Amino acid sequence: MTNSFTTRLLYQHKHTRARVIEVTTPHGKFVGPVFMPVGTRAGVNNLSSTDLQLSQTQIILGGNTYHMLSAPQMQVIENAGGMHNFMAWQGPMLTDSGGFQIFSLSKQGKMCNIDEDGANFYLPGPNQWMHMTPEVSLATQKIIGADIIMAFDECTLDSLDYDAAALVMARTHRWLERSCAYHSLHPSSVYGARQALFGIIQGGVHQKLRRQSAEYVASMATDGIAIGGETIGFDMLATIKIIDWIHDILPQDKARYTMGVGASVQDLLDVVAAGIDMFDCVAPTRNARHGALYCGELKPAGNWLSFESAHPNGRMLIKKACYADDPGPIMESCTCPTCQNYSRSHLHYLFKTKHELFSALASMHNVYVLHDACARMRDLIVKHHA
């Protein structure tokens, strides 16, 4: 296997900004558009590594920096030879810098303060305060050993006015400069595998700032570009608007990643048509656990696709009495292991009786449906490429 990271633009869709890219990492290749199941605590909820392979997963978000510092702590991961070994996933992996979790802590009024050098926050696992700088975040991610690591950033609240968002953005840019400097000196994990560094565009909900941030991040020596902030993936109309503001600035030869997108099949279709290659979200497995199963059909919509469903938000609620004696699969067109083997009535029964098997079967289906939507998009882009 190659010890390098390369991104190739294979096809550009003729009618939208959707693209097919091929990314080579030291742990194998993946092809975008691609959804990444999330295992921030060193395990994707309800899915083993074998399940992830069966669900057609190409790359995961594994072992977030903040959570790993708290538990099991870095020495355990280093002793295991890195996160790939620790969580038994030998395919491509991305990890996050901890910036978003620190943002969540400060938003909740928990013990955390941020200054020019970095963030000070309390880690419950080792029961100690931590000083996180861009350099510390990267050094930690080099122990995690993911193929793609993220620059330490400050996630921007939607409520910040222009001046406040501009200050957060400028600091995130200075942190990116420090991250790039550190990464250029240490381009590999502590296990010797070449890592890719992605920078993160901030700027809140302000068009001028988003464009400034996109220009700055695009000018830096990173391997890919992420779009972050509170609104991304949470407010999809605003997410698409922000991508539209900046798409002309994004380099063609770098992967583009919207952080936290994937609550529904339609969300994926929308960001890909806007020109995005990669996305992650906890929603598919969380929805699964709560008995909300993606159910609908991908249909042609103009020159692109839409996810049409008889269910609100495209999710069947398996607890409903109407499924108690329904012998059909969740989704007729789905070829996932759950739909191939289990009926709605059995899943309804497992959910109602709080059977431990339920979440695994439901998560397999939800994650598979998102992967399948990505595969369908890739096929369409290849078929109608420019």
**Residue range at the interface with Zn ion (CB under 5 A); choices 108-116, 125-133, 223-231, 334-342:** 334-342
Number of amino acids touching Zn ion (CB under 5 A):
5
**Site for Zn ion contains 256 (CB under 5 A):** no
| 142 binds Zn ion per the rule CB under 5 A | no
Please report, in angstroms and rounded to a whole number, the separation of the first and last CA atoms in the chain: 32
Question: Which member of 249, 316, 334, 367 binds Zn ion (CB under 5 A)?
Answer: 334
Burial class (CB in 10 A: 0-12, 13-18, 19+), 343: middle
In the chain, alpha helices (H): 49-54, 65-70, 74-79, 83-86, 99-107, 134-144, 162-185, 207-219, 236-246, 265-273, 283-289, 337-341, 344-352, 357-383
Catalytic residue among 147, 267, 280, 372: 280
Query: Is residue 291 within 8 Å of residue 319, measured between CB atoms?
Result: yes
Shortest Å distance, C-beta 230 to Zn ion:
32
Residue 339 as a binder of Zn ion (CB under 5 A): the answer is yes
Q: Does 280 qualify as catalytic in the annotation?
A: yes
Query: What residues contact 357, with CB distance under 8 A and at least 6 apart?
Result: 350
List 84, 178, 365, 371, residue binding Zn ion (CB under 5 A): 365
Which residues, at least 6 apart from 376, have a Cβ–Cβ distance to it below 8 Å?
Answer: 298, 305
- Residue 96: active-site member: yes
Interface residue with Zn ion among 52, 59, 242, 336 (CB under 5 A) is 336
Q: Which tokens hold the place of 310?
A: 């008889």
Neighbours of 308 (CB within 10 A): 13
- Nearer to Zn ion by Cβ, of 138 and 361: the residue is 361
CB closer to Zn ion, 136 vs 339: 339
Q: Which of these segments, 30-38, 78-86, 276-284, 328-336, binds Zn ion (CB under 5 A)?
A: 328-336
Interacting residue ranges for Zn ion, rule: CB under 5 A: 334, 336, 338-339, 365
List active site positions.
96, 280
